[in-house]
Amino acid sequence: MFYREAGDFKVSYQDDSQTFPIKFDRYRYYAVLAFAFLVIPFVINDYWANAILLPFLIYSIAAIGLNILVGYCGQVSLGTGGFMAVGAYAVYKLMTAFPEVSMFIHVLLAGGITALVCVAFGLPSLRIKGFYLAVATLAAQFFLVWLFNRVPWFYNYSASGQINAPERDVFGIVITGPNAASWATYFFCLIFLAFCAIVARNLTRGTTGRTWMAIRDMDIAAEIIGVNPLKAKLTAFAVSGFFIGISGALFFAVYLGAVEVGEAFGINKSFLVLFMVIIGGLGSIFGSFAGAAFLVLLPVVLKVIGVDLMGWPTDIVAHFQLVIVGALIVFFLIVEPHGLAQLWRVAKEKLRLWPFPH
Amino acid sequence: MEEGYVTEDGRKIGGVVMEMKNITLRFGGVVAIKDISFDIRQGEIRAIIGPNGAGKSSMLNVISGFYVPQEGQVLYQGKPRPQMRPYEVARQGIARTFQNIALFEGMSVLDNVMTGRLNYMKTGLFSQALWKGKAEKEETENREVVEKVIDFLEIQHIRKTPVARLPYGLKKRVELARALAAEPSLLLLDEPMAGMNVEEKEDMSRFILDVNDEFGTTIALIEHDMGVVMDLSDRVVVMDYGKKIGDGTPDEVRNNQDVIDAYLGVAHD
């Protein structure tokens, strides 16, 4: 009824390989973009920005990055927290060393630096696969956190060992530090998310994405039809690192403002982003958004229900939250191993034929 | 015979494309291939047959660069081929299919066939990330070639279907499509008809003959169905226990006493 591809004819291959080949999808996408860019900035307040929107935007970027590596290229990584830390410390060093340069450039450069680090830690993937690679990336996680804790140069020899984001602006609008307006921080993160999502989508629907998926599905066959496994895996690590670095930089500079590396970028963060990718759906850009939204919103929703509606003490709700999140993850993995994205796909298939399923 | 020969049905076969010279392949103490030489000529359909465990698939793996023989030489287009990775062999124009289907299960048929065009994709990562200009043009050009292959093999209706959902016979055809999309100069088929019923075999035979006829592709295939092999191929190599026991036209091979012994058994006295 609402969702039709009948009558939606394509006359060129360009039309057929676009991101949203179905008209209804395309218009919905424009509507979401317009709403995110033109409506939300005017109605946003500090609570919404800090509790929901900023973490959602930033984790979405991280989830897209990890999804490229795990979902598209099939290389398991538990080093996301460490790689986000690289982005955060890179942007910190850049912000303090070159205060006059635009934050846009700093964040992109931080992504680039993380991409290089990620490639270096991705080198073992040429020899090892699966669980063993997960362990190797786990080593990256612990090494990077240790490095940023132990080498004072990274935190500019500050006494606390923390890094604090100084106030920086873009075109005169403050976006970091305590004086940043919530709409500005939101807008800044949204631009990066839109950019990352479009780049990720373009890469995954084209040649690069196909080489990644070929490596994921059957690496021997991929090599025999002409995929260079070295190049395919390392580009996946690089692109993934680029996105994760951007998310780490934003997480530190725009969202938290002050960071203690073990706390903010510990192993928990690696697992959190991995859960987002798995719950959202491996090998799906939409799944990255869905997973990030799910894990960001769930604690907020549970808190609202528990504390505000039921009147329970906060600490009990906080504990229940862990139990419920854990249970839901198990539930999801059993019921729909392909994640929220697959549920969405099935719903769309049904909608296509509704209300006449024959 | 350097200039080639003319087949019974009047096709002209050209010079040698691929020559295997005294190939020996060992896995530890097991000798999979023992001192085998044969050649594959331009435009011919060359079959490799033999009982189970004869070393046919190993031979194909040597040709496609997956195994490196301990002794002997592989000459491709007249030049000795240095040791190279399988993806480099693919770039030289050798494509293959597998005995047990090796498609990318998570991708659609179209994407699978498009991977066959990888060797023709030259644009860099940045251009692809923006999906403008060169990257989009390249994608469309290659899509046109792929669509021709899809038409040729009559799999238009399953273009967007995930491969995992397809029945066995169609998967085999998609795999052939992926190999053909690479426009190979030498096509290797490892048991293209294994596990098929008579109709599917007829279809597949027709496709193989059409490919050879329309594109002039040189084909080397392994097959167990003797009827198919004798009908399709121009020349046949027969292997048994890693050794070559026969080589020639189907008729010559059929009347070769060693071949008959290998297949029917022989009394040991």
The complex's ipTM works out to 0.86
Q: Do residues A355 and A1 touch, judged by C-beta distance below 8 A? A: yes
Chain A interface, mutation test: which of B57, B84, B99, B107, most A Cβ atoms within 10 Å?
A: B107
Instruction: Output the 3-class SS for chain B.
Output: CCCCEECCCCCEECCEEEEEEEEEEEECCEEEEEEEEEEEECCCEEEEECCCCCCHHHHHHHHCCCCCCCEEEEEECCEECCCCCHHHHHHCCEEECCCCCCCCCCCEHHHHHHHCCHHHCCCCHHHHHHCCCHHHHHHHHHHHHHHHHHHHCCCHHHCCCEHHHCCHHHHHHHHHHHHHHCCCCEEEEECCCCCCCHHHHHHHHHHHHHHHHHHCCEEEEECCCHHHHHHHCCEEEEEECCEEEEEECHHHHHCCHHHHHHHHCCCCC
Query: Residues B98-144: pLDDT tens digits?
Result: 888 889 998 999 999 999 988 888 888 888 888 777 888 888 889 99
Mean pLDDT over all residues of chain A? 88
Q: Do residues A106 and A270 touch, judged by C-beta distance below 8 A? A: no
A111 exposed, middle or buried (CB, 10 Å; 0-12, 13-18, 19+)? buried
Which residues on chain B place their C-beta less than 8 Å from a C-beta of chain A?
Answer: 64, 66, 85-87, 89-91, 95-96, 98, 102-107, 111, 114-116, 118-119, 121, 123, 125, 128-131, 135-136, 138-140, 143-144, 147, 178-179, 182
pTM of the model: 0.89
Q: Which CATH superfamily hosts domain B1-93+184-269?
A: P-loop containing nucleotide triphosphate hydrolases (3.40.50.300)
Q: Domain coordinates of chain B in residue numbers? A: 1-93+184-269, 108-182
**Which of A14, A206, A213 lies at the smallest CB-CB distance from B128?**
A206
Longest dimension (CA), chain B: 75
CB-side neighbour CA atoms (13 Å) of A184: 17
Query: Residues B30-39: pLDDT tens digits?
Result: 899 999 999 9
Provide the token pair at B39: 């050649």
What is the helix (H) or strand (E) element at residue A233, kind and residue range?
helix A229-250
Q: Do residues A208 and A234 touch, judged by C-beta distance below 8 A? A: no
- Beta pairing, strands B45-49 & B218-222: parallel
Judged by a CB distance cut-off of 8 A, whether residue A160 touches chain B is: no
Q: What is the pLDDT of residue A1?
A: 47
Query: Residues A240-264: pLDDT tens digits?
Result: 999 999 999 999 999 998 888 888 8
Compare all CA atoms of chain B with the CA of A229 and give the residue at the minimum distance.
B87
Query: Residues B42-83: pLDDT tens digits?
Result: 999 999 998 888 889 899 999 988 889 999 989 988 888 888
Cis peptide, bond prior to residue A99, ω within 30 of zero: no
Q: What is the pLDDT of residue B2?
A: 56
How confident is the model over B195-223, as a mean pLDDT? Answer: 91
The answer to whether B118 contacts A229, with C-beta atoms less than 8 Å apart, is no
